[in-house]
Each structure stands twice: as structure tokens, then as C-alpha cells.
Structure 1
Amino acid sequence: MKLRSKHKIISITVTHAHILLNTGETTKVALNELSFKPKVNDIVEVYQNKDQIIVMKVREKRKPWIYTVIVTIVALVIGGTSLWFLNHRDDSTQVVTKQSSSKKNTSEFSYRSSSSNSSSSSSEPEAPVIETSAEALRDMENDGTLKTGQRYRFTAELFRQSEWADYSGHFKKLNPYYSIWVKASNAPISGIEIQIMKSLTTGWTEGMKITFTVKIMEDSEKFQFWVVTEAIPAPTPKLQQQESTPQPEIQGIDTDAILRGDYTSIAGVWQNASGQQIIFDNKGLVNLGTITSANAGGTNGIIGLQVGSNSSGGSIIIYPIGTSIITRSGIDNSDKNQIRIMAVQSQPIDTSDVYYHISN
């Protein structure tokens, strides 16, 4: 991608258009001050005179009419040459049939060899994934060295979740995708926009660290997009857990003990409004299946347990006192004065099935 000398509209509200400047900063302009109807991903020029900001849409350059005339003439010449060649084809065929059989064999061998080479080149493996960082990719994008078609892997923190939305630009290949943002130190205000299948973001919350594998795609205007092919929540490194100071109990939950396989701090019977129960002893689950892994979700003390059973699998999320449950409806009616548990296979719609501790 060439170095961007223009600026890009990244979002539009009811009253304003938000513009990502090529410095990495953003600015906003009232819609009634624009002389055109803005769209997301429009390329604009921004001029500032004292307190006034003027925004002009960059229009595509049209090819001069003379190019069209030249192309038409060339096509007519080629067409006429082809007709002449077809008329004299019989003569050429007679000459070819008089060649020796050895020359035929040589010609056939040469054709087979070139066909074999062509097949080998078309089946070349995809380029390997390059380990990098969001900041390094941003720099390559700005200096024009980011390679279209290349795959990169990096870890970044989720950012600006309230603005995540379905892709709405002009690049039709991205219509099934979802636009999200991640943090980068060289884009501290706007962050970096990447495209991902929405189903991969279920259960994600702002601040989580995700390891992304992206493939660089390019539209007809040579703008590049980071398209996610794989996304994995980044685990807490084991070495860091061993060297850090052991955490005290968080709101009655012994997080360190649970991560080591000791469930004494949550042992007992947990029940939801429908009467369904989840039972723990000091070694783990008594019902529902077997715990296959446990992870802590940052400093808020939320713990996620992966559960497997003969018939199905899912997750059990443990929420300490005072923490919120993120739902698809955006509503959390649970009692934050108590420890709560949710048994889920995806992000819950609401908190109607939350479990509370009823007995030891």
C-alpha cells in the first residue's frame, strides 16, 4: 500500500462524521458542514483555517477519452490480424505435418515439461505466518511495506468495544465481516481497525488480550485491510504466574487455589431460578461433567472453567461480588452482592439463569 496522503472517514453518527487522520489521530465534523453525503471509508482531504475545518471528498480520476479511442483501435488491429492468421492456417498445418517424427517427440516433451512446471508453480504453498506486533504492522502500513496476501500473527488488547459494528464500506468481500478495534501504542486515540467474523468475538470484553492471525487484503483502490483468519484469547504465561506474588482471596473466592485445582472456596450447591443445580466439592464438579481447564480473566477475579462431558461441553463462569455479567442484551439483573455462576456455551442473552450458592 502506498503511503496515505489523504484521510479516511471511519464512522458516522446522527450528527457527525469521524475522520481518521494520517497522523493516527481522529477528528469529527458536523454533517451539516459537509458538501457531500459521507460514507464510511470515504477518502477525504481536510483543510484547516483558524477555527474552521473544510472537508472535501477525493474523487476518482477519470481516464481521458483518448485512451478509450486508442484501446478501440488496438482491438480492431488485433482482430484483423487474427482473421488473417486463421485464413492461412491450412498452409501452416501442411508444413507442420511434413516435419520428422523426432521433432514431434521433442516438441511433445517440451510441452509436457512446461505443463508440469506450470502445475507445480500453481500449487505453491501459502506464505508462512510472520510473528510481529500491531505497532510494527501499523508502521509497515504507513511506509508502504505491508505486503498484500501475507499472513501475520500478533497479540493486542481489545479496544473501543462500544463502536464495534458490521462492516459497512465499499469492499464487498468484507460484507460478512465485523469491524473491531485493538490498541497500539502508535495509534493511541483511534486504535487499529481489523475485520473478523462476528461469531469469533462471542464473550469478548474490552481489555482482553487476543492473539490474532490476519491476512492482508487489498481493494481496487489499493487500500489494505487486516482480515482475521484465527483468533485465540491469550493465556496468562505460566512463568509469570509462578514469579508473581500469590493473590489473596478476591471477594471470598480463592482464585490461585482454583487455578491449581482446589475448589474448596466455592464448594457446595449452587442453584438457579429453575431449580437446576451445579455442585462442587474440593476437587471440582460433582455433576455436569469434568473440568478440563481453568483461566482467570484479569484483575476483576472472574474465572472461566472449561467443562467436558459425554454428551456435550461448555463453560462455567464464576463472578466475584461486585463484578458485572456481560450479556448480549446489555442487561445484568443479577445480585452483585453475591458470588454468581453462569453455565454457558456462548455469551448469555440475559442473567435469568444465574446460579447462587444455597448450601455447603
Structure 2
Amino acid sequence: MKRIQLIIAFAALALFAWAIAHLGLATIVAQLKAMRVALPIVMALSALRLFLQSTTWSASLKGGNVAVNTRTLIGVRLASQSMGYLTVLGPVISEPMKIKLLGTAGEPTIAATFLDTGVYWFTSALVVISGVVCLPIIAGRGAAYHWAPGVLALAFAVFAITRRSPILAGVARALGSRAPSWLSRAEQFERSIRTYRLQQPALVSRMFWIGATCQLLIASEVLVVLWALHLPIHFFAVMAIEGVTRSLKLASGWVPARVGFDEGGAISAFAVAGLSPMNGLGLALTRRVRDLLWALMGIIWLAWNTRGLRPRHAITFEHSSNSFERGI
């Protein structure tokens, strides 16, 4: 195993231990006693979501003539997400790390991976917007001007995703020679992703609906926690809680393990939904333990399997067909 890979693995393990110590083991244990029924269900829902996410990633890669077995994709996703979760870089490190760990070359892998991530983030944004729209409803203030901003944000998101021409191309043209190099590269990636979507609309549609299913599985975690705490379950309350917690999760991706933000967001979300704020701590810590367990699994996978990650785990269909023609 390369030295840099060992350093990454041990650094992640140290961050994992820091997150446990910072939260306080006694606090975690006390809350989990009340959530011992919900935690296994939440873990099962999360495992199903992990499988579905890896399935869409595999389909996206196959659309770019790159084949990777699902088990490897699950390990790569866990390893990259663990680093994004435990460091200050968040998605800035997790997304490039996924591409690096795959060991496949070139633009097809980058475009397919970014497309998979983009579709998932789009469905996640829809949940956030839906939750924000539900807030005035559960608060008894259903006037149009309360939910109109959410609807406008949703319309803009749909427009940005579905348009044919790249958005960044106009920005790059406006800046001209002053455009930074990273913007030019980002514009090329955006163009390749939009071309990919236009070439394979059925695949993108399938990825969208699987991504929407994953969002429902995440929202179901709120329902499970409410059920475990014997609290009333209402659709608008579940969506509002999920919308508030998800928005804070997206905003706090730069904080290692999102310490404090997850707990504060869940407490605030329960208060907004008219429930006891302290019950929100049960949801936050249940998800915290789930995330830490997945992070630990990702670190273990990274430490034990990085040596085996070579291009043999991922081959292009074109290379396979050429080899077959040569009789290899």
C-alpha cells in the first residue's frame, strides 16, 4: 500500500476518534438507550439507500462504457464519504476521491460520476424545498407569500437542470480572458454531463427516480424516530423536519462530522414542528451513530482494500471488445 494511502487512512481514524470524544460517549449511550429500537431500522434503511446509490452510479458508469462491480462501488463510496464527513473539506475531497479510488481513466468516469452526484443532489434539493414549503403549513400560516419563494426556487432548479446549453459557458464568455482555468474545466465537465443526459434520457430518468426513492428512505428515518418516541406522525411535520435538518446539513459540510450542527438543526426542526425540542436530539444522535458506523466501515475498507484498487477492477467495454477481437 502506498504511503499516502496509509496516511489518509490513519488520519481518518484519528478524526473518527476525535468525533467520538468530542460528543461524549456517555451522552451518546444515554440517548441510544431510548433509540435502541429505531437505530437498527435506520441502519437498514441506510444500507438499502447505499445499495441504490451504488446501483445508479454503476448504471451511469456503464452508460459511459465503464464497468465497475457494485461491491467495489459501495466500498469506494463509503471510503470517500467517510473522508468528506470527518474532514473540513466535505464534498471538495469526497467527490474527487471517488474518481481517484476507482482507478479508471479519463472523462467518461468523471462525467458519469458527476452526473450521478448531480442527480442525487437535485433530488435532495427538492426535499429541502418541499420541507421549506411545509413550514408555514404546519405553523398555520398557509398564505401564498410564505410558500411562493420555495416554489420559485424549485422552478429555478428545474430550469437549471433541464436546459440544454451549459450555464457556465455564458459565465466563461462574459469573463473572457479573465476566466480562471478551473472555470473552463468546470464548463467542459458541465457540457459533457448535459450531452450525456441528452444522449441517454432513459438512463437519467431512471437515476432520478431511484434518487427520489433514496430521499424517501432518508425522510422515513424521521418517521421511524417519531414512532420510536411515541410521537404523533404527520406528513407535513416529517417533511418540515427533514427539510430543516437537510438544509443545515448541506450548509455545514465544511465542519468535521458536522458536530453541533446536526444536533442544533434537529432540535430546531422539532421545535418548529411543534414537538419537544429535546426529542430532536434523539433523531440527531441516531443519525450520528449511523454516520459514524458507516465512516468506520469506510475507513476500514480504505485501509484494507486500497492496495487492491487497480484498473483491473474497472474496465472499459471498448477495451474489452478490442481485446476480444485480438484474441486476448
For normalisation by structure 2, the TM-score amounts to: 0.22
In terms of fraction of residues, the more helix-rich structure is 2
Structure (1 or 2) with the larger CA radius of gyration: 1
Between Structure 1 and Structure 2, the one with more strand by share is 1
- The structure with higher relative contact order (CA 8 Å, sep 6+) is 2
TM-score (norm 1): 0.21
